[in-house]
Amino acid sequence: MSLLDMLQNQLGGDSASQIGRQLGTDQAGAQKAIGAALPALMAALAGNAKRPEGAAALANALEKDHDGGILDDVQGFLGRGGDSKVGEGILKHALGGRRGAVESAVAKETGLDSGAISGLLPMLAPLVMGALGREKRQKGMDIGAMAGLLSGEGKRAKEMAPGALGMLGGLLDDEGDGVDAGDIADAGKKLLGGFLGRRK
């Protein structure tokens, strides 16, 4: 099972209901939004990891700040409204200036407004990083293995949400599946200052 499928399963039922209440929609609407937003986030991270500097920066962030413990109490995390500071930090570097385009594509795909999606993405981003961090630790993955994992997750993302990702086309980068090289280089330089939502 892919990490995306695992997260999708974990965010069903009561978890989806919790998210729905915060977004102003029902459980079905929340599940549809989650089903489009999770792949978009994973596809962006997969795009980052295609380049050595992006893969190294992501691996360092996972090692320092995302051990997967967040997945031990997903409903508790969601019940607290997530962690917007961490989530916003992740989105800043994973999506950069393309965040608005991602929000619009997910909103169009799900029928929810962009404001609701804007609240959903920072809620989901720490969970995605937590899943990657746990996988890295449990399997002892080095940078190359993480890049390989994310390549597979990126392909799964396109299978799960062809509509939302198709609408984005080449907006994520020149290959259509991640942030551009400049964004990655800038993010890498900012690792010590808080890359991907590191707590200060």
Residues 56-112 have pLDDT tens digits of 888 888 988 898 999 999 999 998 878 888 999 999 888 888 899 999 999 999 999
Asked, for residue 80, whether it belongs to a domain, the answer is: yes
Q: Which residue from 54, 89, 88 is spatially nearest to 175, judged by alpha carbons?
A: 54
In a domain, 198, yes or no: no
Number of domains observed in the structure of the chain = 1
Q: Is residue 136 part of a domain?
A: yes
Q: For residue 155, is it within any domain?
A: yes
Q: 199 in a domain, yes or no?
A: no
* 134 to 68, 72, 73, 130: CA distances (angstroms): 4, 11, 14, 6
Q: Is the pLDDT of residue 187 over 60?
A: no
Per-residue CA distances from 161 to 43, 47, 125, 147 (Å):
10, 16, 17, 21
Structural domain of 159: 3-192
pLDDT of residue 52: 87
Residue 125 resides in a domain: yes
> pTM of this prediction?
0.83
166 in a structural domain: yes
